[in-house]
Amino acid sequence: MAIVASLSFWRFWQAERHAADPIIDLKLFENRTFVVHNLIAALISGFVIGFEVYMPMWIQGILGMDASLGGFAVTPSSLMWVVGSFVAGKLLGRFQPKPILTGAMIWLLGGSLALALVPQATPYFVFLLVAGCLGFGFGLVITITTVTAQAIVAPDQVGVATSFNTLSRTLGQTLMVSIYGIVLNLRLTQGVAADGRLNSNMLNELINPHTAQKLPTAVLPTLRQILYEGLHNIYFFSIVIVALALIANHFEAKKVLAKTTTQETDEEV
């Protein structure tokens, strides 16, 4: 499959180079800012999907709460995302994208570190606070990368630039979900194999609070510890993802937007 994918990509690249009206103008990739911002968008979107998928799992499997509360745990992120988007528009009217993104990703790095280090008995409200903080950072990063990717291309390429930015975020989420699944399943498999009383079905039942009540009381602490360690591995990996995005931003030019452009994007956002 990897060989087929590589050959297909090479064939697509060749076709796009000679096409009179290419789907993606390859000249866009000669722009370092365009490449950097789409890479950052892909990486941070990967962090977003890890947070949104595995946070409810933590609430249900470890804290033993209902699925409704598990879903509600990520709601502050959505609300603060909107706030972060508006703040991003204001900041772009005064500063260049690079320092704003640096500050936003340091903020996200702190949030991912908090998730990776919180103890198993962490109360529910702490996750609500962390979700709100992360949502604010997501709003900053995703809005700035989207607006910048649009602002640095020619007017007739804005549509393609916007579509590719969306594609980058989608691919980032798809790829990272696969990697997160591998990271989590490896730890869960190791934990189950180390205790003869356990099987993988018990972990599936643990995530559902209603079926978790039917599990033997003696194995519940062990199951929750295994799930806790697996989710911690997820968030430790998220730290690496945010750090890579921070490194990518380091290669960005100090000044990429003219003052007039940032004022216009501020009004649009």
Domains of the chain: 30-268 (1.20.1250.20)
**Given pLDDT bands bounded at 50, 70 and 90, which one contains residue 41?**
very high
pLDDT band at 14 (very low <50, low <70, confident <90, very high): confident
Among 141, 149, 138, which Cα is nearest to 36's?
A: 149
Top pLDDT among 20 and 229 is at 229
pLDDT mean over 171-194? 90
Residue 262: pLDDT band (50, 70, 90) is very low
Rounded to an integer, what distance in angstroms lies between the CA atom of residue 117 and that of residue 114? 5
For the ranges 71-75, 143-147, 172-176, 251-255, the lowest mean pLDDT is seen at 251-255
Mean pLDDT along residues 22-51 = 88
When pLDDT is cut at 50, 70 and 90, the band that residue 130 belongs to is: very high
84-92 mean pLDDT = 92
Residue 263 has pLDDT above 60, yes or no: no
Per DSSP, the residues of 137-171 read HHHHHHHHHHHHHHHTS-GGGHHHHHHHHHHHHHH
Q: Where are the alpha helices (DSSP H) in the chain?
A: 2-18, 32-61, 67-72, 75-92, 97-117, 124-151, 158-193, 200-207, 209-212, 220-250, 259-268
- Mean confidence (pLDDT) of the chain: 87
Q: Is the pLDDT of residue 81 over 70?
A: yes
Per-residue confidence (pLDDT) for residue 194, from 0 to 100: 84
In this prediction, what percent of the chain has a pLDDT beyond 70? 94
Q: Is the pTM of this model over 0.75?
A: yes
256 has pLDDT over 80: no
> What pLDDT is attached to residue 261?
47
Q: Is the pLDDT of residue 264 over 70?
A: no
Residue 27 has pLDDT above 90, yes or no: no
Alpha-carbon gap, residue 38 to 152, rounded angstroms = 12
pLDDT band (50, 70, 90) for residue 16: confident
- Asked whether residue 148 carries a pLDDT value surpassing 70, the answer given is yes
What is the distance between the alpha carbons of residues 62 and 98, in angstroms, rounded to a whole number? 38
The pLDDT score that the predictor gives to residue 110 is: 93
Tokens 């050959």 belong to residue: 7
Over range 18-32, report the average pLDDT: 79
Q: Could you give the C-alpha distances from 233 to 58, 181, 230, 236, 246, in angstroms and in order?
A: 12, 11, 5, 5, 20
